[in-house]
A = this chain, B = another copy of it.
């Protein structure tokens, strides 16, 4: 295709090394879509007749159908998806095919294909994020009464609704949605018409192409357009945050499913056993998903590294953009899907949760708040309760087992109503500020998200 000036054949070793068809075949749909739009501009410019364009469109559709059915034979010696399709088209329809690449370079063509692909995948990821949010809300709703210890430092901190904990992840995934949507704005810009680097001496109507491919904006600098992969890096960054969120959710699921916590049971369908130990039932989905943060982070590093220090404009290094992008998208889509399905099969174990949340230490802060409400400055109240906790540790008893006299010895502000106040129910009921886990707030949030996400009730 570009061999006019070359005397020697391309080395077989180089062909193997530099081909991209083994992975960029995935862009076939977008390549064809882009070529059809490009051919419209060529026709509008008088460079193709209506008949020529019709034969191009028909030929491309035919090839597309074959690829879809798995009947198309890709050739490594044709390097990439662009050349594979163009070359086969020309073989089939002759001269009109040979005209298709007029005023176009693979540099702007691949930028177009990648943008079309990522635009579609962004939408798919947004859908899967909504699906996992839906399952989190559903799981919380199925167990809306269950209270568990909330943890900081993996130490029991304060009681929270199980649903409140799950809703924290719904918030995270919502930010992921927003980031992907923001990124999509920057994906959704037409690069075609930038040529190799400097547009073309043949004038085409870029606005027509933008309209046909549904791009609301057009790149404004041809050199930038062919060397820009920001949108891919930005998406990889957004996906790294999704992976991070999934890794945290995984950690929680793994802890909750352990013998020591036992807050949840995962269905058999989403656990696996051991080849050696007959009793094992492992939370593999959560482990694998936690582990996959590695590859999603690694893909981001990979692309950032590749782009570092490249001179303008297109350099062949940039062919390395596709595999990390494909891998992160595949990984995140699969992880969201399987995790959502697993969530559907999780049930909480109410007795174990209740036993854990019965730990009176979880109410220590409430005791300090009690003193504050009785006029003690918070720092002093905190110190008083700290001493009560230490006294319990010494006596090997619980905060609920100290007597009123014990408490009053620590602070005269304690009164007899202390013990009535000191219940998980009271603790939850009082937490009414925006975002805090009072029963009303949690119910409100479950409802808010259910309607927003379209959960069935």
Contact = CB atoms under 8 A, between A and B. Distances in A.
A309 B382 CA distance: 31
Contact of A158 (B167, B186, B196, B356): B196
B287 A316 contact: yes
A64 to B, nearest CB: 20
Contacts of A96: 377
Interface string A269-299: 1111111111111111101101111110111
In this complex, the member of A172, A389, A432, A436 whose beta carbon has the largest number of chain B beta carbons within 10 angstroms is A436
A9 interface: yes
9 contacts: A9-B268, A95-B377, A149-B259, A152-B315, A160-B197, A202-B430, A222-B431, A233-B237, A293-B308
Contacts of A206: 433-435
Interface in A245-276: 247-248, 250-252, 254-255, 257-261, 267-276
Interface string A13-57: 110111000000000000000000000000000010000000000
Contact of A434 (B152, B218, B383): B218
Contacts of A14: 269-270, 272, 284-285, 338, 341-342
B290 A309 contact: yes
B285 A18 contact: yes
B197 A106 contact: no
Given A18-B288, A298-B300, 10 more contacts: A14-B285, A14-B341, A154-B283, A165-B312, A194-B435, A259-B356, A279-B365, A294-B324, A300-B300, A308-B308
B267 A8 contact: yes
Nearest to A207: B434
B198 A437 contact: yes
B297 A304 contact: yes
A273 B2 contact: yes
Contacts of A234: 179, 237, 241
A8 B268 contact: yes
A152 B225 CA distance: 13
A82 interface: yes
Interface stretch (A68-76, A121-129, A367-375, A401-409): A367-375
B364 A98 contact: no
